Amino acid sequence: MIMRMWRGWTRIENADAYEKYLLATGYAGYTATEGNRGVCFTRRDEAGRSEFLLTSLWESWEAVTAFAGEDPSRAVFYDEDDRFLVERDLTAAHYEVFAAS
């Protein structure tokens, strides 16, 4: 199994709206992709900004590629992300899962 992680930041006053937007776009896209084994979207408010950490579990590299495209290290963005994000990782980190419950 593969864990994929991505981070992005919004202004704190835009965080609630971005949460709703992420649920409609990212969450829907992740969970609709065959081979997705779970997602966890988290938020941390700090110093006037909100950090969003998105983690997802995938059954294989083929499933990651089905979601992310030919270069799975590239982050996936949606149409309105520029409206919300003040900083973002342009890549996603991947980890081989060797134990989970």
pLDDT in tens, 28-48: 999 999 999 999 999 999 999
Q: Which sequence spans correspond to the domains of the chain?
A: 2-96
pLDDT digits (tens, 9 = 90+) for 67-99: 999 999 999 999 999 999 999 999 999 999 999
Contact by Cβ (8 Å): 37, 57: yes
Q: Name the 3-class secondary structure at 17.
A: helix
Q: Name the 3-class secondary structure at 11.
A: strand
CATH 3.30.70.100 fits 2-96, yes or no: yes
Rounded to whole angstroms, the Cα distance separating 42 from 40 reads 6
Q: What is the pTM of this model?
A: 0.94
